[in-house]
Amino acid sequence: MRAHAARAPLAADEVTIREPSALQIVVRVLACGVCRTDLHVVDGELPDIPYPVVPGHEIVGRVTQVGRGVSRFRVGDRVGVPWLAETCGTCRYCRAGLENLCDRARFTGYTLDGGFAEYAVADSRYCCVIPERYSDAQAAPLLCAGLIGYRAYRAAGEGTLGLYGFGAAAHLLAQVARAEGRQVFAFTRPGDLPGQQFARELGAAWAGGSDQLPPEPLDAAIIFAAVGELVPAALAAARKGGRIVCAGIHMSDIPSFPYRLLWGERRIASIANLTRADAAEFMQVAAAVPLHPSIETFPLSAANEALQRLRTGALQGAAVLVPSQAG
């Protein structure tokens, strides 16, 4: 299912599976999560999108071919293919252990073809092992909602945590936070009572609209929704010294706000991509904490429907595409 132009429906195309080059693997896609970043690709909201491109960067697959030099995986292994697809290894960021900021990084489902397909090709060095406790469809959201969400979670630090936009990432991170004994406050679209109930079922101490204040000031907040207006809202909900983490790759413009909201050593930060170390650490967490991903599966041919459901907020948890050949 390929995007040929911005804001155009994905098209069902037949393309040749290319042979893996050195260090690459070919995977038969078993499941691929649908992420808000896929919407940004489909809607043309990211720079330099190389249309036509296959979206999808939460890939769970089974290795069918290995290229020269591959040592981590064998044919038949189940692997996860995440957002970060390649880095240069030589820029100042790579040398400093910040490969998520690499000047020449490439990304699955954005600058390289992704997993809205029956097969995908990936660099084996950037793939990860998935805990056995999760089915293919359950594991798919772990590959971005989990991985990048966890990077944002660590950046938020300790204490009470607000989650703005209770979707695929927030519903996983709420479970991690509760397992660590943290108090979670969930913010949904105003009036989204089912979403608020869903958050409470996952252990949120309070759930309300993003236009509301929580019952107590937040130590930290993570903004998953791509809505710039939520930044001053989160600042208003945070205590002095509070941390606001913007976790998306794209966000609408942040409106001006009075300095008093930032004063008191409150901080705003963004999260960009992930590192392989993030993936290894989060998969250890996912192996230890019995997460319960809330998923709704769609056949690969219904990718446009899944994207529209995500766009309108008509999902609880994550949408996952399952190619018919995967069973």
What DSSP string describes 57-77?
--EEEEEEEE-TT--S--TT-
- Same-domain pairing of 47 and 157: no
- Give the mean pLDDT of 149-161: 97
Establish if 14 belongs to a structural domain. no
Mean pLDDT over the full length of the chain = 96
Where do runs of H (alpha helix) occur along 60-192? 92-95, 136-139, 147-156, 168-179
For residues 136 and 240, state if they share a domain.
no
d(CA 114, CA 81) in angstroms, rounded, equals: 9
Going by the DSSP 8-state scheme, the letter that residue 53 receives in this structure is B
- Give the span between the Cα atoms of 256 and 271, in whole angstroms: 21
Q: What share of the chain is helix, strand, coil (3-state, %, to 5)?
A: 30, 25, 45
Residues 134 and 162 both lie in one domain: no
* Last residue of one domain, picked from the residues 270, 286, 313: 270
- In terms of domains, do 253 and 308 share one? no
Residues 200 and 92 in one domain: no
Q: What is the DSSP pairing of strand 59-66 with strand 78-81?
A: antiparallel
The token pair at 22 is: 């050195």
- Cα–Cα distance, 176 to 154 (Å, whole number): 11
Pick the last residue of a domain from 270, 294, 313.
270
Contact (CB, 8 A) for 83 and 109: yes
Query: Are residue 135 and residue 32 in the same domain, yes or no?
Result: yes
**125 in a structural domain:** yes
Residue 325 pLDDT > 80: no
For residue 118, the enclosing domain spans 24-141+273-326
Our count of domains for the chain comes to 2
For the domain that residue 117 is a member of, what is the CATH number? 3.90.180.10
Q: Answer whether residue 208 is part of any domain.
A: yes
For the segment 63-86, what is each residue's pLDDT rounded down to a tens digit?
A: 999 999 999 999 999 999 999 999
Which pLDDT tens digit goes with each residue over 250-301? 999 999 999 999 999 999 999 999 999 999 999 999 999 999 999 999 999 9
CATH number of residue 225's parent domain: 3.40.50.720
Q: pTM for this structure?
A: 0.94
Distances from the Cα of 143 to the Cα of 138, 150, 270, 271, 308, angstroms:
10, 11, 19, 16, 21
Does residue 316 form part of some domain? yes
* Confidence at residue 327, expressed as pLDDT on a 0 to 100 scale: 40
147-156 and 276-288 helices cross at what angle (nearest 10)?
A: 90
Do 164 and 253 lie in one domain? The reply is yes
Among candidate residues 229, 255, 270, the one where a domain is terminated: 270
The pair of three-digit structure tokens given for residue 264, joined into one six-digit string: 């008191």
